[in-house]
Amino acid sequence: MVMGINAQLIHWPPELVEGLVAAGFQVIALDNRDMGLSQRFDGQRAPGISRLFRDRMIGRVSQTPYSLVDMADDGFAVLDALGLSAAHVVGASMGGMIAQQMALQSPQRVKTLTSMMSHTGERRHFIAKKRAVDALMSNTPTDAEDAGQRVFELMQVIGSRKHLRCEADLRLLGRMAHERCFNPAGFRRQLAAIVASGSRSKALSRLQIPTLVIHGKEDPLILPAGGQHTAKVIPGARLVLVEDMGHDLPIAFHDLFVREISALAGLAQ
């Protein structure tokens, strides 16, 4: 299970992990590089967001500390360390992009691919609701309490409005994440990796792996068109658009997620 930008393995809802375990899965979650307890790349500066998108517009590849290819390699390194040859790979947001990249790099090691609230890297799918972008890029928290406040405010904007976790849970998650890892420069490097890695659409159109695409119809950060396009380009992919779901993983939909991921796993060779 691969999490999104500026997020750690603790951002996977424990109820979802428990549901997958109850369904018979051995669940492995990792901290992406520059987040959580994984290696930090301190001192390596990422290009500014304006330059990144300018380079994309003119077809130039930006020089970044690392790419999604490197982050996909990290996923396989975790499997190697655990002695596992292959796994069902689930990714959310940036994690969905990394999961897609894993499937492209070593399809024999990805039994199934589940891409949640993500896209294929097409330039047009970086367009989001302004309020969502502003909330994501808001001021860096000054301490753990401020981090809890920021998570609460962020989820008011990008989360599933009808199914938000309670305020206390959101504030606790923000405090825990801040105390576990505070690395704003890592967020900028991860963002650079996303933008500079280009589109995966053409390569994904040749993918022959059972694939599930889950996307919220109310997602303001990665619009539903991103998930629809992902499912369209991957042969045989199943698209599940979820009513009243934003850019989060509400408890209300965990049974649906487990059911769909379990059904997908049944299609693996």
Strands 211-216 and 110-116: parallel
- The secondary structure of 165-178, three-state, reads CCHHHHHHHHHHHH
Give pLDDT tens digits for 178-190: 999 999 999 999 9
CA distance 29 to 187: 19
CA distance 6 to 95: 11
DSSP state of 117: S
Query: 9-127+184-265 maps to which CATH number?
Result: 3.40.50.1820
Q: pLDDT digits over 222-244, tens only?
A: 999 999 999 999 999 999 999 99
Every domain of the chain and the residues it spans: 9-127+184-265
Q: Kindly report the number of other CB atoms within 10 A of residue 80's CB atom.
A: 11
82-134 pLDDT per residue, tens: 999 999 999 999 999 999 999 999 999 999 999 999 999 999 999 999 999 99
What's the whole-number average pLDDT of the chain? Answer: 96
Kindly state the DSSP code that residue 160 receives in the 8-state scheme: -
